[in-house]
Structure 1
């Protein structure tokens, strides 16, 4: 019998939903690169349900207990006395989400001698110390592409909300006003602007495709250059580095994984090279941006706006400076956890578990670390400290 430790975010403050705004969600069978959507042997949930919170349990309890395994689900993940830390030494599998990450540090991995598999329900496994996972032979997997388009849609929404000054304008309505001059004094058209993405993987490319019809000039940088036909189709300008790209952009969106080369990338120095009044959107990882440098750039006007849904740590403390800085459009980490996306990443999590328990290979596109080395999607996207 295996102990499966699943860390999910808390239920809604008013209790688990008894009904939903929509009765169903569209079924997505495959993705833009030809990869199929998750294909587990079955699921024990209705797509469109809230699965990522504690009561949703990713729809796994019936499946796991039917095999005789123990499932522990908690949102208590911080501190030595947390439920996560109490159960970790006996756990064979740890599951968590980027939105409410259970940080599997080197110290925690060392205290978990039975740990064989760490699963990210979603995409982005930087909350796992990959070097430690490699050292201890822990397989790390995530449900690649399951919510990439969800995040890309969120990016486009945030770009438009900043450029068009949507949130302050909506606030005037809530406050009973009709202050048109106040609303439009920071409102511009996106058309004609230069928009660039730092990284053009699944999310970055999806963002570029969705922005192309807006009549913008598109830029990108990535350590893996896109095929020439994609560059021609979207009329993309490639830059060798973020440092080379950002001075040419009015809007920059960050869609890169967090690794040693991207941590702290957007610091005072890089921000100072950007066009005055640039908009910066970060739905990748909070640590890619220097927290205090972002605040300074907004206060000085070097940045016209900053939006994103990634923070460090997560959840962000009440006094985090990004909550109160000017001209921001921050949200909790929600871009990849729509109810539509949850159906896919919950199904993908079960698919990974089925492979683990039957001894069959996990899909290469799901693998981050396997066999003591970066593997699959991880070898393409991540680098290690060693």
Structure 2
């Protein structure tokens, strides 16, 4: 164990219990407000910290890493996704990268199902009617949606979150299908009653609902491109609680406007908080502000994982959630 306390810089406000524990263990610099650090502030942070604790709102690229001081040895990411961090360059500079996997699977899967229901049952439209005061009572033909039971759900990415979605979808009576980089073991397929599709194109063309649950990597960028989106059935919907870059957002917007796709539920966007304004105008789209993992329990668990990774590193061992380029 080191004789002096590690210098830790946290880029965003974290739950109070997490910040308190970090302060007890390390020489920590916390944020006073919840605004993302400016580029200048990030540069100063990497120049002075032994450990940087960023979030997905921070761009930790090669240029920033090149300005880091020699003392920076760990980037302990608060979150599972690390597509905002140049892991390869960090490794070349002798800086380890860790993340917080497995914490938000259930929370994100819950939100996935919420979006499936919101789109297929037109929940936001009903909410808007009630909030406007225009509701005049029940009608046999008003706001007719579709039944989810019996529909085919195609899950793109069958990791922890995808499998959690599969379990929930089965409880709603949906038929579970999936495409994944590697096929699941037969016993897991049997447990989930899930059908594997080696061809993503063939799966997309036959599903009623597509759920995007794969990470953003160079190989998944625009995996749902214009050509593949056109394979979807006219009455199909797509839901994304993973990363916005997996879907070609402009192509999706065009097809939603022309009703080549029935609807979409999105919690993430290709350009972060800069959402396509044409997308905002569509009634067949449900938009959420990246809140798939936003539960108090999940955020605290993420912080606990960050602390374990830093403490293990401080004790001279490999962080349990270390990320290496080969994993990406």
What is the TM-score normalised by the length of structure 1? 0.77
Aligned residue among 7, 13, 31 for 2:11:
7
**Alignment of structure 1 residues 287-302 onto 2, 5 Å:** 287-302=245-260
Find the residue that maps to 1:295 and give its secondary structure: helix
What is aligned with 1:213? Answer: 171
Aligned residue among 90, 97, 116 for 1:133:
90
Q: Deviations over 1:323-367 (max 9, x none)?
A: 33442111111111211211211111111111111112322xx22
Asked whether the 8 Å contact 1:165–1:184 carries over to 2, the reply is no
Distance 1:182 1:109 in 2: 61
What is aligned with 2:68? Answer: 112
The answer to whether 1:164 aligns with 2:121 is yes
Q: Deviations over 1:31-66 (max 9, x none)?
A: xxxxxxxxxxxxxxxxxxxx44xxx3x623554455
Distance 1:240 1:175 in 2: 47
Change (3 A) 1:359 1:169: same
**Alignment of structure 1 residues 342-381 onto 2, 5 Å:** 342-363=299-320, 366-369=321-324, 373-374=325-326, 379=327
What is aligned with 1:43? Answer: none
Change (3 A) 1:184 1:6: farther
What is aligned with 2:285? Answer: 328
What is aligned with 1:103? Answer: 59
- Please state how far the C-alpha of 1:5 moved relative to its aligned partner: 1.9
What is aligned with 2:135? Answer: 178
**Alignment of structure 1 residues 42-81 onto 2, 5 Å:** 51-52=14-15, 56=16, 59-61=18-20, 63-64=22-23, 66-67=25-26, 69-73=27-31, 75-77=34-36, 79-81=38-40
- Please state how far the C-alpha of 1:182 moved relative to its aligned partner: 9.9
Distance 2:283 2:48 in 1: 46
What is the TM-score normalised by the length of structure 2? 0.90
Find the residue that maps to 1:362 and give its secondary structure: coil
Distance 2:281 2:62 in 1: 33
Asked whether the 8 Å contact 1:169–1:183 carries over to 2, the reply is no
Distance 1:258 1:241 in 2: 19
The answer to whether 1:238 aligns with 2:196 is yes
Structure 1 unaligned spans of 5+: 10-50
**Alignment of structure 1 residues 185-196 onto 2, 5 Å:** 185-196=143-154
Distance 1:354 1:336 in 2: 24
User: Which segment is superposed worse, 106-115 or 263-272?
Assistant: 106-115
Change (3 A) 1:286 1:228: same
Find the residue that maps to 1:60 and give its secondary structure: helix
Structure 2 unaligned spans of 5+: none
Aligned residue among 208, 216, 220 for 1:250:
208
Equivalent residues, number: 321
Asked whether the 8 Å contact 2:76–2:97 carries over to 1, the reply is yes
- Please state how far the C-alpha of 1:242 moved relative to its aligned partner: 2.4
Find the residue that maps to 1:303 and give its secondary structure: coil
The answer to whether 1:148 aligns with 2:148 is no
Distance 1:231 1:324 in 2: 39
